[in-house]
Structure 1
Amino acid sequence: MQPAESGSVKSAMRVLDLLEYLRRWNAAQTHTQIAAQLAIPKSSLTQLLKTLVSRGYLDYDPASKGYFLGPAIAALGQRSAETRDLASVAETVLAETARATSETCALNVLKGDVSEVMATASGTHRLHYLMRVGDTAPLYATSGGKALLAHLPAEMRQDYLSRIRLEAITPRTIGSVAALEAEIAEIQRSGIAFVVEEFTPGIAGMARPILNRSGFPLAAVNIALPIARYDEALKQRCLKALDAAVAMIRERIGIA
């Protein structure tokens, strides 16, 4: 016997069915047509359509009283394509950044409530930090994660902050939402995120975001290094290299 679908699962299935249905049509579809084709109760469909229009996933044509896919759908597809392009472009840029700084660097993207490494280049020192493609980390604990978090749309960021539990990964991991919000404000002002031993003991990091034309953080480039080498001269060299890396990636994917 199959378990009954929960209300939230049923609603999600209706959203997907609706989007897939509209994708198959060149012409706008009316409330009546959609209800008949998808067997959704009209009262439920009314609220669903209203929500999707308000979020930009659907548009409404008053002349035909029909609905069609909205700009938010195209934006999702664009972000997916941009992320794939980023990973391939970033590999050569990160290699140049690692040579310029002799330190490990990586490209990080948002994946739910964590950041994920999409590309990386290792430092040339015998003692260097190791980051691997596929590694994930909480947004609040790494420089790349904080750079992404600080530049998310306000609604997405507040949703994250309202439900996240700040785990003390190290003794220096940020411990309160208020402190995290203050740091986010500083990152938004400066464009740079720093951590010192917040995720890995003995390791410092810094990161800058790569923003698309609408200001959404496609990714963040970070540099991670042992605190034994972390002095002001190296910090400035790494910041200069981060600036160059972000500018180069943006130019190569056509959003400079």
Structure 2
Amino acid sequence: MAKSALRVLEIMEFVATCRNGATHSEISLALGIPKSSLTELLRDLQRPGYLQHDRQSGRFSIGPQIMFLTHSYIKNLNIVRVGSPFVHELFLAINEYTTMTIPKGDEVVVVCSETLPSPLSHSLNLGEHLPMLSSAVGRAIVAFMDESEQREIFERFKPINYTPFTQTSLEVIKKDLELTRKTGIADVRDEYRLGIIGLAAPVFNVNGRPIASIGVALPSARKDRAYEENVKKLLLECTASLSRSLGANLTASPPSVFRDTDDTDDVDLETASLRARS
């Protein structure tokens, strides 16, 4: 990428991480950009509105044009389109039934699935609705909802015995949700389908809200705890990657991304950036 383009991205990311914006001198010092070069770059960023300058304080902050780009990204974001490749990659890694669901009222809806020919392939079809509190894919979402949303779901909960092992005690389910929040994984065994262990993890959006879940179904007859732990690890990696793709937990790129070894005029960016953050 051209040096000037890298500099532009570097400046915008740095300014975005400064709660009250940053002055010309602070940007120059933190990023190791000569003041004369920085002046032109800042002027170029102000013209279309990517940065704005407060003349009174002398501080630069993110401009309104960034909102246009953000809105365009979010408008074109489709959880099925974005999430399907992640579901596929997880399926290839474990060769077990893998699905993605989204919340709808007191249920979750299957929007994507991958499976090998087996009895499991007929258990969950695209568009099928599952109970929010009796399925792993549902509990993975509820566990990370805010308290008011959880309370509404709890108030509407009507226990149904899907199997002899279905948990109908709301207090027990709440304890299970607490464990899910600690581990990141919802683990439901034989509660919705006999013979099936459901493992699921939530997917978060840019606001940190759980907007989907990815689940894996394993035969409960398979007694292999080490294998289950590996599946859980891969599941958490998958949902974390998808969440990042949706904007969750966004952080600025490390300074090394912008480092140009041919730039002898600038100070080491990583050292300067660390100095600015200390």
Q: Distance in 1 between matches of 2:152 and 2:79?
A: 26
User: Once the two structures are superposed, what CA deviation does each residue of 1:134-153 show, in whole Å capped at 9, x if it has no partner?
Assistant: 11111111101001111111
Provide TM-score, normalisation by structure 1. 0.64
Larger RCO, structure (CA 8 Å, separation 6 or more):
2
Q: Which residue of 1 is the match for residue 151 of structure 2?
A: 158
Is 2:205 the partner of 1:190? no
Q: 2:81 aligns with which of 83, 88, 91?
A: 88
Pick closer, same or farther for the CA change 1:255–1:126 going to 2, 3 Å.
same
Gaps of 5+ in 2: 1-70, 250-278
Length-normalised TM-score, structure 2: 0.59
C-alpha distance 84-171 of structure 1, shift in aligned 2 (>3 A): farther
Query: 2-side partners of 1:235 and 1:88: how far apart?
Result: 28
Alignment CA distance shift 1:93-1:168 (3 Å): same
Q: Within 5 A, what are the aligned runs for 1:139-158?
A: 139-158=132-151
SS in 1 for 2:88: helix
5 Å-filtered alignment, 1:79-228, equals 85-122=78-115, 124=116, 126=118, 128-130=120-122, 131-228=124-221
Counterpart of 2:230 (choices 225, 237, 243) is 237
Preserved CA contact (<8 Å) 2:88 2:114: yes
- Partners of 2:142 and 2:221 lie apart in 1 by 28
Q: Structure 1's 228 and 197: CA in aligned 2 closer, same or farther, altered over 3 A?
A: same
Q: Percent identity?
A: 24
Please give the alpha-carbon distance, in whole angstroms, between the structure 2 residues aligned to 1:153 and 1:113: 15
Q: Which residue of 2 aligns with 1:8?
A: none
For residues 63-108 of structure 1, give each alpha carbon's deviation from its aligned partner in whole angstroms, at most 9, with x where no partner exists.
Answer: xxxxxxxxxxxxxxx8xx5896221122111111111111011111
Q: Quick one: which amino acid aligns to residue 215 of structure 1? A: G
Q: What is the identity, as a one-letter code, of the residue corresponding to 1:239?
A: K
Question: 2: distance between equivalents of 1:99 and 1:127?
Answer: 18
In structure 2, the CA distance between the partners of 1:136 and 1:206, relative to structure 1 (3 Å rule), is same
Q: Following TM superposition, by how much is the alpha carbon of 1:220 offset from its aligned partner in structure 2, in angstroms?
A: 0.7
Q: What's the Cα RMSD here?
A: 2.2
Moved more, 108-117 or 227-236: 227-236
Which has more radius of gyration? 2
Displacement after TM superposition at 1:207 (Å)? 0.7
Q: Is the 8 A contact 2:184 2:236 kept in 1?
A: no
Inter-CA distance 118–84: structure 2 relative to 1 (3 Å threshold): farther
One-letter amino acid of the structure 2 residue matched with residue 132 of structure 1: N
